[in-house]
A = this chain, B = another copy of it.
Amino acid sequence: MSRKPGKLYVITGPSGTGKGCICKEILKEIDNEFSVSMTTRPAREGEVHGKDYYFVSEEEFLANVEKGNFLEHARVFDNLYGTPKDMVMKQLVKGRNIILDIDVQGALQVKKAMPEAIMIFLLPPSLDELRRRLEGRATDSQDVIEKRLGQALNEIKLIGEYDYYVVNDDIEKAVSEVKSIMTAEKCRVPDKVTEIIKNYE
């Protein structure tokens, strides 16, 4: 059978839910890769253009915004970050899945730009548990933690925008569920079925 195109998976969820950990595991699978973002932030020592980021000038970045060439973009402090659509498309036609580990704001932008993206929402087991995790990281002040928890609830209320949800009460189980979602999506009957039928004619 001819090679199936890859799919774009958007993995998001409230801060502290464990997106990063889960994505790292998913990336170990052969057909999956991260998308490389474009940024105006200067490269740090050891960072490679085209691998860690595409490092561009603010002018070039804004020209790409103008052309609608981002699936999503955002300003973080003084720098711009964005996911270039053409790079993602290039990988998808090669049959590779692109994993986008992204915050909820960005995730909803991607869905708008590419409705066929598969949207996975990671949930904490409870807000109490999320509080414990955020406190355990010890990187945020109590004020910031309260703000994050309020934001988490607001983000969870938008769960209807997503295709799938995975409760991260056990990292191994959560990873296995995300992998199952990806396997199932590979088995999904596409809109155009002629490619399948012609294998039997």
Pick the interface stretch among A52-60, A101-109, A176-184: A176-184
Determine whether the beta carbon of B185 is less than 8 Å from that of A162: no
Complex Cα spacing A185 to B153, Å: 24
- A200:B166 contact, CB within 8 angstroms: no
Kindly specify which of A41-49, A140-148, A187-195 makes contact with the partner chain: A187-195
Are A159's CB and B193's CB within 8 A? yes
Q: Determine if A159 and B126 form an interchain contact, defined as CB atoms under 8 angstroms apart.
A: no
Count identical subunits in the complex: 2
For residue A53, give the distance in angstroms from its CB to the closest CB of chain B. Answer: 31
Q: Do the beta carbons of A177 and B183 come within 8 Å of each other?
A: yes
Choose one: B127, B176, B187; the contact of A165 (CB below 8 Å).
B187
Determine if A121 is an interface residue (Cβ-Cβ < 8 Å): yes
Q: Which of B126, B159, B187, B199 has a CB less than 8 Å from the CB of A196? A: B159
Residues in chain B near residue A166, CB distance under 8 A? 187
For the complex of A and B, 9 pairs with smallest distance between CB atoms: A184-B184, A180-B183, A180-B180, A181-B184, A164-B187, A160-B193, A156-B200, A180-B184, A159-B193
22 examples of A-B residue contacts, CB within 8 angstroms: A120-B187, A121-B189, A123-B200, A126-B199, A156-B196, A156-B197, A159-B189, A159-B193, A159-B196, A160-B193, A162-B189, A163-B189, A164-B184, A165-B187, A165-B189, A165-B196, A176-B183, A179-B180, A180-B181, A181-B183, A181-B187, A184-B185
